[in-house]
Amino acid sequence: MEPPVTIGGLKPGMRNLTMTFIILEIEQVSMTKEGNTVRTFRVADRSGSILFCLWGEVGAYLQPGYICEITRGYASLWKGCLRLYTGRGGDIHKIGEFCLAFSETPFMSEPNPEFTQQLENRLNAHAVTQRAPSPLAAVGPVRPLLRPPSPASGRPGGAGLALLGGIGPVPDSSMRMPIAIQPQRRVRL
């Protein structure tokens, strides 16, 4: 188990946190599509405040002014804002009431562009390492197979499509679209 961490020192991705804080207020109570209750509290310690999300009915027993300790907590971004959660097997215990020095600032759940940028960088790096080389990468840039006809195509109002080779308009009744495109194969119309 990790030593206690302060709210002001939280960063996205931190796990297995043990923290002590005071509940300042109940921000929101909502239900998921599956019927689970999620309560969001604003909590604080000496170093700042953050939104703390608690799943399940245990949150119904918590009130502003309670001093609580969580174990196996984690910090994560939700909609670009840092939040604190309890992990699987995590616990929350009331250890007192009203007697804890705290600071509401900094409010760690305010949108933080630095955290968002770090998350984007991690996601991009992960996507690059997970992406297999495209079978079309050696073919070169993708060009459309069809282009709009010129007004001189003979179709009223220039309607229809013309082949890239300039052979002429393609009658609407003969237009066929491929059902599936196989990598590294040419598709005929």
Q: How many folded domains does the chain comprise?
A: 1
Residue 60 lies in a domain: yes
Compute the distance between CA of residue 93 and CA of residue 39 in angstroms, rounded to an integer: 16
Is 92 within a domain?
A: yes
In a domain, 181, yes or no: no
Give the predicted TM-score (pTM) of the model: 0.60
Report the pLDDT value the prediction gives residue 186, as an integer from 0 to 100. 47
Confidence at residue 30, expressed as pLDDT on a 0 to 100 scale: 92
Domain of 24, in residue numbers: 7-104
Nearest by Cα to 174 from 146, 135, 143: 146
- Decide if 71 is inside a domain: yes
DSSP characters for 82-128?
A: EEEEEEEEEEEEEEEES-------SBTTS--HHHHHHHHHHHHHHHH
Q: List residues bridging with 107 in a β-sheet.
A: 49
Residue 1: predicted pLDDT: 53
Strands (E), 9-65: 17-31, 37-45, 48-55
Question: What is the rounded CA–CA span in Å between residue 168 and residue 149?
Answer: 8
Reading across the β-sheet that carries 161-163, which strands appear in turn? Answer: 146-147, 161-163, 169-170
The pLDDT of residue 67 is 96
What is the Rg, in whole angstroms, of the alpha carbon atoms belonging to the chain? 29
- Can you give the pLDDT of all 189 residues of the chain as single tens digits? 556 689 999 999 899 999 999 999 999 999 989 998 999 999 999 999 999 999 888 889 999 999 999 999 999 988 889 999 987 788 999 999 988 888 898 998 888 777 766 666 666 666 666 665 555 444 455 444 444 544 554 544 444 444 444 444 444 444 444 444 444 444 454
In a domain, 21, yes or no: yes
CATH number at residue 75: 2.40.50.140
Asked whether residue 132 is domain-assigned, the answer is: no
